[in-house]
Amino acid sequence: MKVVKFGGSSIASATQFKKVHDIVLEDTDRHYVVPSAPGKRNKEDTKVTDLLILAYSHHNKDDFEEIYDRIKARYNGIITELGLDISLEEDFKEIKEEIKKQNSFDYTISRGEYLNGKVLANYLGFDFIDAADVIYIDKHGRYDEKKTDAALTKALSEHDYAVVPGFYGQLNDESGRIKAFSRGGSDVTGSIVAKCACADLYENWTDVSGFLIADPRIVKDPKPIATITYKELRELSYMGASVLHQNSIFPVRNEGIPILIKNTNSPEDAGTLIVESTCHKPDHVITGIAGKKDFMSIYVYKKHMSNEVGFIRKALSILEKYHISIEHIPSGIDSFNIVVEKKEIEESLYEILAHFKDELKPDKLTVQEDLALISTVGKNMSDKPGTSGKLFGALGKNNINIVMIAQGSDEINITVGVKKKDFTKTVQVIYDTFVGGNEE
């Protein structure tokens, strides 16, 4: 039994709906389908979720009607072109009233998936299960496993074939209000449905032929990864490989349900299988590369710091007071760097630096802005001596200055910090060095 999730671009138009229809119906094992909201039909297009966000913030502006009509047109276009016997007019009326009342942002942004789910269920001839009745989410956007498992397992047992819209559920505080996951969250819904259906496989259908070794927007035609472990994938998706939402592995991982990433526009391609462990020998030492741009690093130096017990703890507790989560803390004998996401610290940076000065009395305190982090990930890197030397050597040869190095304790990743302007080049050099034919 399979659970299948289709991303926004996979299901953005009537043409895409036809592809989805063929994929789902060609295999009777595909019992439960989780759709996103209609995404972009081309580069210049706007996702329905983004139109809903715009409509919410323009609720009292002159262009509201125009924005809302664009949303309606996306669904009506699909319904007309497919010749479906369904009308969303009542829903459109109700959603518009709710947006005007400004009662709930989460309700508004969830309607993209809700409406798409209704249309898709009608087209496939499947039942429709409203995610608001079966998925419970806490106020921080994490799913409530206990409540969800009970409600969703029961609902699935009552419907042989069904569509469950992605991205949202009900707030778990008895208020009955809608709560959405963070952006890209339909991947998480798919994983929860796969878990509760006790599926053999969670298929995640998107617009690329699997998880690629690097972001295709940075490296031209990167090779796909045939098999990857959950652990490697988690590192890559956390570091910005946006194919899968970073939280989507958790529900299926404990149940041992593999995820298969497939391309809706090229279903014959093998895709990427995500598993707990594999004896599959990869073609390259590294499995993948991913990176993110907007980081900042605080450098603290103090003579004889190593003799001062609790020094780093003091620095960390200052950041904790400001609720700032830390990415890396590479350290030397008398110094350390604290790397954080820029957007987290920007507002309180000067206050934090003042606390550092008062409480740590450092000999040197500097801030490095515009830092990018690039992680090279691979479970086989630890068996192959010289991998980091090769990586650093290649960056040096290409005049890329490494400002920070961090290696995860389980040796499946090497993270380098470089200036933001060197981000793209760094990813390309690492790809060429380990994959692009230069491998010794």
Among the residue ranges 86-94, 183-191, 292-300, 423-431, the one whose residues contact Mg ion (CB under 5 A): 183-191
- For residue 165, state whether it binds ligand ASP (rule: CB under 6 A): no
d(CA 285, CA 46): 39
- For residue 117, state whether it binds ligand ASP (rule: CB under 6 A): no
Where in 185-233 does DSSP place strands (E)?
201-206, 227-229
Within 8 A by CB and 6+ apart from 17, the residues are 11, 78, 82, 119, 120, 123
Q: Which of 35, 112, 378, 436 binds ligand ASP (CB under 6 A)?
A: 112
d(CA 233, CA 56): 34
Q: Which of 77, 141, 216, 330 binds ligand ADP (CB under 6 A)?
A: 216
Q: Tell me the sheet residues that pair with 170.
A: 136, 178
Residue with tokens 């509760």: 196
- For residue 378, state whether it binds Mg ion (rule: CB under 5 A): no
- Classify residue 168 by burial, with Cβ atoms within 10 Å: 0-12, 13-18, 19+: buried
Q: Which of residues 19-48 bind ligand ADP (CB under 6 A)?
A: 36, 39
- Between 32 and 167, name the residue whose CB sits nearer to ligand ADP: 167
What does the block give as tokens for 155? 């609902």
Among the residue ranges 51-59, 122-130, 169-177, 210-218, the one whose residues contact ligand ADP (CB under 6 A): 210-218
Q: Which of 136, 167, 205, 356 binds ligand ASP (CB under 6 A)?
A: 167
Q: What is the nearest approach in angstroms of ligand ASP to the Cβ of residue 209? A: 19
| Residue 241 binding result from Mg ion, ligand ASP, ligand ADP, none, given CB thresholds of 5 to 8 Å by partner type | ligand ADP
Widest CA span of the chain, in angstroms? 76
Q: What is the nearest approach in angstroms of ligand ADP to the Cβ of residue 211? A: 5
Angle (CA) 223 7 233, round 5°: 45
Q: Which of residues 186-225 bind ligand ASP (CB under 6 A)?
A: 186-187
- Quick one: the chain helix, strand, coil %, rounded to 5? 40, 20, 35
Q: Dihedral through CA 77, CA 82, CA 83, CA 87, nearest 10?
A: -50
Q: Which of residues 69-128 bind ligand ADP (CB under 6 A)?
A: none
Outline where 159-197 has alpha helix (H): 186-196
- For residue 215, state whether it binds ligand ADP (rule: CB under 6 A): yes
Q: Which of residues 28-87 bind ligand ASP (CB under 6 A)?
A: 36-37, 47, 49
- For residue 8, state whether it binds ligand ASP (rule: CB under 6 A): yes
The amino acid that residue 272 corresponds to is T
Outline where 159-223 has alpha helix (H): 186-196
Q: What is the nearest approach in angstroms of Mg ion to the Cβ of residue 157? A: 28
- Between 44 and 174, name the residue whose CB sits nearer to ligand ASP: 44
236 and 211 Cβ atoms separated by less than 8 Å: yes
- For residue 184, state whether it binds ligand ADP (rule: CB under 6 A): yes
Q: Which of residues 228-287 bind ligand ADP (CB under 6 A)?
A: 241-243
Residues that bind Mg ion (CB under 5 A): 7, 184
Residues that bind ligand ADP (CB under 6 A): 7-10, 36, 39, 184, 206-208, 211-212, 214-217, 241-243
